[in-house]
Amino acid sequence: MTTELKLPLYFDNNATTPCDPRVVDAMVPYLFEHYGNPASRAHAYGWVARDAVATARQQVASLIGAQPKEIVFTSGATESNNLALKGAARYLARKGKHIVTVSTEHKAILDSCHALEREGFEVTYLEVDSEGLISLDALRAAIRDDTTLVSVMFANNEIGVVQPIAEIGAICRENGVLFHCDGVQALAWMPIDVRAMKIDLLSMSAHKMYGPKGIGALFVRRGRPRVRVQPIIDGGGHERGMRSGTLPTHQIVGMGKAAELAAESIASGGVDKVRALRDRLWDGLRANLDELYINGSWEHRLPNNLNVSFAYVEGEAMMMGIKEIACSSGSACTSASLEPSYVLRALGVDVELAHTSIRFGLGRFNTEAEVDYAVELITRKVRFLREMSPLYEMVQEGIDLKSIQWTAH
């Protein structure tokens, strides 16, 4: 079986996805054959590029239930998050300077909030429960008269936990507060309707839904009252003045095609196939190993995400042992120390257990054979590493480690 597989296996689709060949095929003509600037209005090269951008804008808008004029192209989700938070907060600063977000948000949100704090804004960081979910009552309590913006991600990039977005949107709308959502991880995996969910600003990225890197978008709701953001990049007034810069036609075409394919996959059962692979991986691991712990809610979770802690196995040793599988460790290496993920710490996961966590992100191009290979390899390596763990041996003998009084000599 192993000879048929291309190693290493790619199980890191929450970090990035491979570009779908159909996306590549759509992009290639706009790299050389149709190379005009979409802003060039005096000749056919510009018109062709402009039409391609308009088509892609419609494709992206359709994926989330928006109108094409509500889509602002950016360089990616990091810029979209920065534009949404800084742009909306600064525009509404006269009304108030209070923002509400969550402690487990992506760094692009948290660091944007820290930057706004240095400008005099106040930020409330909501905590999550052991499942990774926020409390709606805590959100209601956090909103004040001077609150202008709430930012909650659709699905967490590490643990895949999906927040109650429609309920959050309703609370924000009731209180006259803008609701921004980082929708990056959810785009390829679940239906998003910005109208029904009362989302005012939604950040998107192409490379998390089988599109190219370097291109993203921000949904900015029109209507009454129209959502306005102060630009963070000045220039020629592209994208209705919200994001200046020559539009990268080929990347935009790629994002549009990726959005179209994502919508098809959600509607036709492609997502169910990936969920079945994820469940096959989890069931296989559970059948062969004990002391496994899922991080985050199982019920409210992306269909492709599995974040699991392998107790009594050191995370970095585990990653070295399964290097035939591309996945992510739950620890983030810093210059001075190996710290467990801030997301796992926010869930209350024990530090030792957090160090043993691995994130597996299944995707469109994975197969059952790859999953079965992964189960066999992971099982073998975990058993080997646990054989060297005196703590695991003690647990197998029925000793409660928490009852032991450790002494240093």
Domain final position from 266, 297, 323: 266
Same domain? 220 vs 154: yes
- Quote the pTM value: 0.94
Identify the helix (H) or strand (E) that includes residue 306: strand 305-310
Integer Cα distance of 54 and 39 in angstroms: 12
Chain CA centroid to CA 296, Å: 14
Residue 13 or 401, more confident: 13
257 is a domain residue: yes
Each residue of 242-260: pLDDT tens digit? 899 999 999 999 999 999 9
Same domain? 164 vs 289: no
Tell whether the model's pLDDT for residue 409 goes beyond 60. no
Question: In a 3-state reduction of DSSP, which class is residue 318?
Answer: helix
Same domain? 321 vs 246: no
Each residue of 259-278: pLDDT tens digit? 999 999 999 999 999 999 99
326 contact partners, CB below 8 Å, separation of at least 6: 8, 9, 10, 11, 12
AA letter at 183: G
Phi, psi of 348 (to 5 degrees): 85, 15
Tell whether the model's pLDDT for residue 12 goes beyond 70. yes
Integer Cα distance of 354 and 330 in angstroms: 7
The CATH number covering residue 342 comes to 3.90.1150.10
Q: Which of 113, 181, 327, 333 is labelled catalytic?
A: 333
407 is a domain residue: no
- Whether 333 is a known active-site residue: answer yes
Same domain? 166 vs 310: no
Same domain? 44 vs 100: yes
Residue range 280-308: mean pLDDT, rounded: 97
What are the structure tokens assigned to 253, written together? 């075409």
Residue-by-residue DSSP string for 174-192: HTT-EEEEE-GGGTTTS--
Residue at token pair 């190996």: 338
Residue at token pair 């000599």: 409
Same domain? 365 vs 321: yes
Q: At what angle do helices 44-64 and 249-268 cross, to 10 degrees?
A: 30
135 is a domain residue: yes
Residues 173 and 149: beta-carbon distance below 8 Å: no
AA letter at 123: V
Residue range 380-405: mean pLDDT, rounded: 78
Residues 274 and 364: beta-carbon distance below 8 Å: yes
Residue 351 or 402, more confident: 351
Domain of 292, in residue numbers: 2-16+269-399
For residue 365, the model assigns a pLDDT of 98
Same domain? 340 vs 238: no
Each residue of 204-221: pLDDT tens digit? 999 999 999 999 999 999
Confidence of residue 314 (pLDDT cuts 50, 70, 90): confident
Question: In a 3-state reduction of DSSP, which class is residue 400?
Answer: coil
Domain final position from 248, 266, 284: 266
Confidence of residue 223 (pLDDT cuts 50, 70, 90): confident
Same domain? 142 vs 278: no
Number of structural domains the chain divides into: 2
For residue 168, the model assigns a pLDDT of 98
Same domain? 170 vs 316: no
Confidence of residue 402 (pLDDT cuts 50, 70, 90): low
Same domain? 112 vs 203: yes
What are the structure tokens assigned to 62, written together? 């359709």
Residue at token pair 């075409």: 253
Confidence of residue 63 (pLDDT cuts 50, 70, 90): very high
Integer Cα distance of 42 and 34 in angstroms: 15
For residue 239, the model assigns a pLDDT of 86
Residues 159 and 307: beta-carbon distance below 8 Å: yes
Residue-by-residue DSSP string for 260-287: HHHHHHHHHTHHHHHHHHHHHHHHHHHH
Same domain? 220 vs 300: no
Domain final position from 251, 266, 281: 266
406 is a domain residue: no
246 is a domain residue: yes
The CATH number covering residue 49 comes to 3.40.640.10
Residue 331 or 193, more confident: 193
405 is a domain residue: no
Listed range (134-148, 171-185, 292-306, 381-395) with the worst mean pLDDT: 381-395
Identify the helix (H) or strand (E) that includes residue 169: helix 165-174
For residue 401, the model assigns a pLDDT of 63
Same domain? 279 vs 389: yes
404 is a domain residue: no
409 is a domain residue: no
Residues 328 and 14: beta-carbon distance below 8 Å: yes
Query: Taking the CB of residue 133, how many other CB atoms lie within 10 A of it?
Result: 20
Integer Cα distance of 247 and 254 in angstroms: 13
For residue 2, the model assigns a pLDDT of 47
Each residue of 94-122: pLDDT tens digit? 999 999 999 999 999 999 999 999 999 99
For residue 37, the model assigns a pLDDT of 95
